Amino acid sequence: MLAVLYGLVFMVGGIAAVRFLLPQKRMIVRLWLGAALGLALMMWLPALCAFALRFSLAAHGLALALLLLLVAGAYLGRSKRPAAAWSADDARLGKLLLCVALPLTVIGGYLQWTHNIMPAADGALHVGQSTYGDLPLHLAIASGLRNASFPPDYSILPGELLSYPFLADSLSTSFMLLGCDLRAAIVIPGIWMTALTFGGYVLLAARMADTKKGAALAALFFFLNGGLGFLYLVDMQGAVLGTAGSNELQSVKGLWARIQLVLNGWYQTPANHAEFTTYNLRWSNVIADMMVPQRTTLAGWTLVIPCIYLLYDALRPEWPPLQGPGKGRRIDLRPMVLLGLWAGMLPMVNTHCFLALGLMSAGWMIYDLIRNRGNVGRALLPWAVYGGLAVALAAPQLFTWTFQQSVGNDAFLNIHFNWVNGDLGMLDGYLWFYIKNIGLPFLLILLALLEKNEKRRFLACGAFMIFLLAECIQFQPNPYDNNKLFYIWYMLCCVIAADYGLELLGRLRGMRARPVIAAMAAVCCFATGALAVARECVSDYEMFSESDVEAAAFVETLEGDPLFLTGDQHINFVSSLAGKRIVCGPDLWLYWHGYGEETARRHGDVERFYADPVGNADVLTAYQVDYILVSSNELYNYDVDVGALEEHYPVVYSNGSVTLYAATGHDLPAGEANGAW
């Protein structure tokens, strides 16, 4: 398959570049860093070339030439040190990856396979619970970027710049252009990123933790997170305390009945429960609710974990402070140059990861400068190299996309204390909210910081810089999205919790109750997360019917770049499967992207056209509509005058469930459609 071969070329290029620049790193670490760098370059180089050649096959050919130039540059700037060979420590890291990262990757890969428009026997396309909401947006971006000019517009809001970080989805577009169908283009990169995220975090934890056991436990803390919500299943299990939609988690008797409710109900998992005001459970499991459905988060973690690794490895606290010229630690600027270039690629992959990395870096820089206050100038040099390159590369992205969307928009950057617990006046007590949602690891984090341990305090300086700002500032319209910052905080703190937890367990050596205590702690730490992952593994919902798939295949054959007038349902085969533009997508996404006023105008125009297709034909002229869709969604959500459509607009396609009309109203006098661009 050409797309897979293309990806392998970038992976080999990334591995070669890391080999030239960082030969002293362990071989298994170099392979991981190189594979992640190759993925980053495969996201970015075709996008850069698209500014001149559109997002086309020609742009992808030019991207290969740029890759060769970058690898050649890495060779010219290579380190003269010999490459580290495979060692006993590599073997130990390999065993750790096989025992921890591989099983997690199998689970994550299975969810990628089953949750991304899985074909059913009847021709319909199915998804899982977690992908039911956001997947159509990612499908629309990925399918809509084929041969698009850059910078691109929203296909679901034409005329508005696509400021949502789109490089994770354009990666899927690359796979489509190189021969994959839409499903394969989503699944293959998803599995690639999943493997790199699981493996990368295990290697990061192994670098930071005191022992390999600590690294394994940190990975389990992070990926099987969930908190103490499982206690609602055992609390008062002999009584029926609720009904559907109202204390539903306790609406049946018995533990097994409640577990079945979790496995089969809509967001009944005790990690991120649908009834926020009843349970206040908001700490989503990172596998089920982040890595599988939120592709920008998955891509961001794939790239930010190597950045954290490189920075920690350059500044590790076990090194002695700088003592003067030629003394103390040796500062190698190659990792800092690579880190700066890598970090600078983050904003349009995942802006939250870029922000979190910047906050973490600020905390570590303060710690490092205080620790080396006798040699501040020398200590500042690597920070200047790293920060200067990262800012120089990130600034064009931020000014082209991010600030265009957020600056001057009151929905962004607001003071908001106590994350989502403060939405309705602090439903839970301050500390109890985090204890309940994060569970035992949160207590371990707090207790560990009472001990005198330089490494843990160093980690905490970076981690809690993220926590403090995420706890006090709402960075986007939906306050819940601050969790994308909190998870980077938690990513670092899991190492602290794991090390301290094993230290406490070690102090119980010789006690007969020690295995029982360990088992009880494991249940408290992993029961909720395991239920969330199990629920996701068995979830199955139809997203696109057979008639939707058939109609999408016809729509995709239409020449040019037509625009469709459709309803604002989030499951829309025109935008998601066929990759065509529509007048206005749903507020489910666009409102939270900051476009509430614009979408309100367009929704009103769409509604009035369906109600009176002849009297409101100015809508077609104003938006330059080419086709009008009528399906069960439009008939359900609008008062559609089907008779007027049949009389005045020719049918170009119908399969019994979906009808497509040609918009012949372009030659009518233009009216005052409010949403016209």
- What's the whole-number mean pLDDT along residues 233-240? 94
pLDDT at 676 over 60: no
Residue 349 near residue 41, CB atoms below 8 Å: no
Which pLDDT value is given to residue 295?
Answer: 96
Confidence of residue 409 (pLDDT cuts 50, 70, 90): confident
Identify the H or E element spanning 61: helix 57-76
Confidence of residue 372 (pLDDT cuts 50, 70, 90): confident
pLDDT at 674 over 60: no
> Nearest to residue 287, comparing CAs of 350, 193, 368?
193
pLDDT at 669 over 50: no
pLDDT at 612 over 90: yes
Which pLDDT value is given to residue 482?
Answer: 93
pLDDT at 257 over 90: yes
Which pLDDT value is given to residue 371?
Answer: 87
Q: Give bridge partners of residue 473 from the DSSP assignment.
A: 415
CA distance 452 to 445: 13
Which pLDDT value is given to residue 275?
Answer: 94
Residue 359 near residue 466, CB atoms below 8 Å: yes
Q: Give bridge partners of residue 474 from the DSSP assignment.
A: 414
The HSE-up count of residue 175 (CA atoms within 13 Å, CB side) is 25
DSSP codes of every residue in 117-184: SEEPTTS-EEE-TTHHHHHHHHHHHHHHTTT--SSPEETTEEEEE--S--HHHHHHHHHHHTT--HHH
In terms of DSSP H, where are the helices of 178-283? Answer: 182-208, 212-223, 231-234, 255-264, 276-279
Which pLDDT value is given to residue 316?
Answer: 76
Which pLDDT value is given to residue 646?
Answer: 94
Rounded percentage of the chain residues whose pLDDT exceeds 70: 96
CA distance 113 to 292: 10
pLDDT at 297 over 50: yes
Answer with the residue of higher pLDDT: 669 or 221: 221
Residue 258 near residue 229, CB atoms below 8 Å: no
Calculate the CA 471 to chain-centre distance: 20
CA distance 271 to 284: 5
Per-residue pLDDT tens over the stretch 49-106: 999 999 999 999 999 999 999 999 999 999 989 999 999 999 999 999 999 999 999 9
SS3 state of residue 433: helix
Cis peptide before 396 (omega within 30 of 0): no
Mean pLDDT of the chain: 93
- What's the whole-number mean pLDDT along residues 439-459? 95
- What's the whole-number mean pLDDT along residues 310-318? 84
Residue 592 is classified by DSSP as T
Which pLDDT value is given to residue 509?
Answer: 94
Rounded percentage of the chain residues whose pLDDT exceeds 90: 85
Burial class (CB in 10 A: 0-12, 13-18, 19+), 649: buried
- What's the whole-number mean pLDDT along residues 608-624? 95
pLDDT at 660 over 90: yes
Confidence of residue 413 (pLDDT cuts 50, 70, 90): confident
Which pLDDT value is given to residue 671?
Answer: 40
pLDDT at 320 over 70: no
- What's the whole-number mean pLDDT along residues 236-245? 93
Per-residue pLDDT tens over the stretch 421-434: 977 678 899 999 99
pLDDT at 328 over 70: no
Query: Measured over all CA atoms, what is the biggest interatomic distance in the chain, rounded to whole angstroms?
Result: 88
Q: Is the dihedral of CA 470, 471, 474, 476 positive or negative?
A: positive
Integer CA distances (angstroms), 424 to 280, 412, 433, 482, 675, in order: 10, 19, 13, 16, 34
pLDDT at 677 over 80: no
- What's the whole-number mean pLDDT along residues 602-615? 96
Residue 424 is classified by DSSP as T
pTM: 0.94
pLDDT at 598 over 90: no
- What's the whole-number mean pLDDT along residues 436-447? 97
CA distance 223 to 288: 9
Which pLDDT value is given to residue 374?
Answer: 80
Confidence of residue 318 (pLDDT cuts 50, 70, 90): low
Confidence of residue 666 (pLDDT cuts 50, 70, 90): very low
Which pLDDT value is given to residue 404?
Answer: 82
pLDDT at 245 over 60: yes
Which pLDDT value is given to residue 323?
Answer: 65
> Nearest to residue 378, comparing CAs of 340, 320, 339, 331?
331
Which pLDDT value is given to residue 638?
Answer: 95
* Per-domain residue ranges of the chain: 2-128+163-208+294-407, 559-667
| DSSP β-ladder status, 563-565 and 627-630 | parallel
Per-residue pLDDT tens over the stretch 111-124: 999 999 999 999 99
CA distance 166 to 397: 12
Burial class (CB in 10 A: 0-12, 13-18, 19+), 609: buried
- What's the whole-number mean pLDDT along residues 378-382? 87
Integer CA distances (angstroms), 72 to 36, 51, 123, in order: 18, 24, 48
- What's the whole-number mean pLDDT along residues 301-308? 98
- What's the whole-number mean pLDDT along residues 398-416? 83
Answer with the residue of higher pLDDT: 319 or 149: 149
Which pLDDT value is given to residue 670?
Answer: 41
Dihedral (C-alpha) 37, 40, 303, 9: value to the nearest 10 degrees? -40
Which pLDDT value is given to residue 532?
Answer: 97
Residue 357 near residue 308, CB atoms below 8 Å: yes
Unique residue bearing structure tokens 């490089």: 167
Burial class (CB in 10 A: 0-12, 13-18, 19+), 326: exposed
∠ CA 38-35-464, rounded to 5°: 100
pLDDT at 502 over 90: yes
